[in-house]
Copies of this chain bind each other. A is one copy, B any other.
Amino acid sequence: MRQHEINVPLCDKCALETGSIFKHLTAEEVEMINFEKDFRQYKRGDVLYQEGNRISGFYCIHSGIIKVFKTGFDGKEQIIRFAKEGEIIAYRSVLSNEAACTSAKVIEDCQVCFIPSEILISFIKSNPSYALELLKLACHELGEANSFITDIAQKTVRERLAEILLLLVNDFGLDEQNYLKISLTREELANIVGTATESVIRLLSEFKTDKLVELNGRKIKIINKKGLEKISNVLTRI
């Protein structure tokens, strides 16, 4: 099923709608991206780039969800973060001028714009307040990474799973029936939490027994957010 007429999104419109980082650019700069960018569509499972790749640009997500992950020794994925509309990925490699230290794979069909490195670099040089925004972004991500390190190092799998569920609620929201909008396989959940698939399954069904969630296949319904918050903290072990 190929679309003959694809609506390539315009960056100026997109930046406003999604609140992407491009909203800090001037009109001419946005126009320049519009001209240079390459619009692409991907389906679930598609790979945008892989660890070790040299990347010639970065991606701005217009719709859909992408997982960014590293691959450990035995091939096990560790999901580092998700990216959704308005967010950019692979900018880290472009800026630090290193090979990609992560891979990116599609979780939900998506439309993305690929923007050549040179444009990013030239904007940083020409538009200082944009550079500052990028710095803020990187520093913010760094702060989140630090928290995550502390969590993985100190919390139990149970606590982390509860926390991740809440984080997913926060990032992707719930539908009218309180179902998590993002749907992941048990394995993917395990690869965020940093545990085995079986452990996620067991803990989720405990959560279900404890009336914290309901499960319908991959769809997870949150029915006691306070309870999850309680678990995700210290309080478990008082």
Residues of A within 8 A of B (CB): 70, 72-74, 76, 78, 80, 91-93, 95-98, 101-102, 121, 124-126, 128-129, 131-132, 134-136, 138-143, 145-150, 152-155, 194, 233-234
- 6 chain-A/chain-B pairs, Cβ below 8 angstroms: A76-B154, A95-B136, A121-B132, A126-B128, A138-B142, A153-B194
Do residues A95 and B145 form an inter-chain contact, with CB atoms below 8 A? no
User: Are B125 and A132 interface neighbours, CB within 8 A?
Assistant: yes
Q: Closest Cβ of chain B: how far from A236's Cβ, in Å?
A: 9
Whole-angstrom distance from the CB of A112 to the nearest CB of chain B?
20
Interface of A, helix, strand, loop or mixed by DSSP: helix
Residue of B nearest to A76 (CB): B154
Report, nearest first, the 10 A-B pairs whose CB atoms are least far apart: A153-B194, A73-B234, A145-B145, A96-B139, A131-B131, A138-B138, A125-B128, A78-B150, A72-B154, A70-B150
Q: Tell me whether B150 and A72 are in contact (CB under 8 A).
A: yes
- Distance in angstroms from A162 CB to nearest chain B CB is 13
